[in-house]
Structure 1
């Protein structure tokens, strides 16, 4: 009997909303969800490791990946490239495992165009003032860059209509529980299971 395919989960939202924190908490709960490692041209932050948090690339290396069509999506955000290598994602889904992409809103739109059967979750901050506080407390951006990120964030919030679900990241553990519930419900959808149960009927 053919195994059920895994689900591609796309989690995005404004910079500073806590996408990385939520994804790390999901992994700590041993949910069985694989984590897609993105590629980027931005500089590593303290404690980040190449191949674990991101594949850190030069601009020339990244543009070669674009040219060779080796990215599921890519976007330029605040003067840096971000993208998702395509082969590991499709291999994981085809092997029956779920995989989550933690990407920017621009990238999520491109994934939806190429892989509309994925599930798209928008991670929402409790408020814009709280978002500014979170970005400021990271201590990695200048005031001008923080202001630029806030302008982009307001534009991105208007794009949540393109998503299947919206999860507020008020407390990380609650956001994780909501995402796990969404994934469980998606695995029970009739359209995901119809082929499997057609085979059962045929066998009987």
Structure 2
């Protein structure tokens, strides 16, 4: 009888001690859209040579975004990776009436780069042979071979360079806003 109780005690103790060292690992993927950044594109002449349309700084408060999206379960220190998932530009005062070029139809090629101090800019998104159809909104395809941007997102400010070539001259200053969305992987 003592042997049965002793074996039962050993089995219970071994189960208890084997589960004490186990930690729960949680992973979460988030889609975080940064606040839109307003900028202007100057009147442009037709050009086949790439020119800079704008350089804009975007404040990034990633700590708050992660905390809000995970109900406080994750923090900035929990980020494993951050990859750009989309980059969209909306033209606020575009004119999409027939035969007007003050919209995306004026631009043949558009490139979005991330300016990183001490290095060459990193290409994030680009479109070749943009449509000739009048449009006031454009989702620019993300460059394949996704770069992990977690170190840049933690910096607090991102600087984007928007450049391209002009197919048809524009006749007015175009006001725009750019919105970047990142896929953030976190674990704890």
Larger proportion of strand:
2
The TM-score normalised by the length of structure 2 is: 0.26
Structure index of larger Rg: 2
TM-score, length-scaled by structure 1: 0.25
Greater helix fraction, Structure 1 or Structure 2:
1
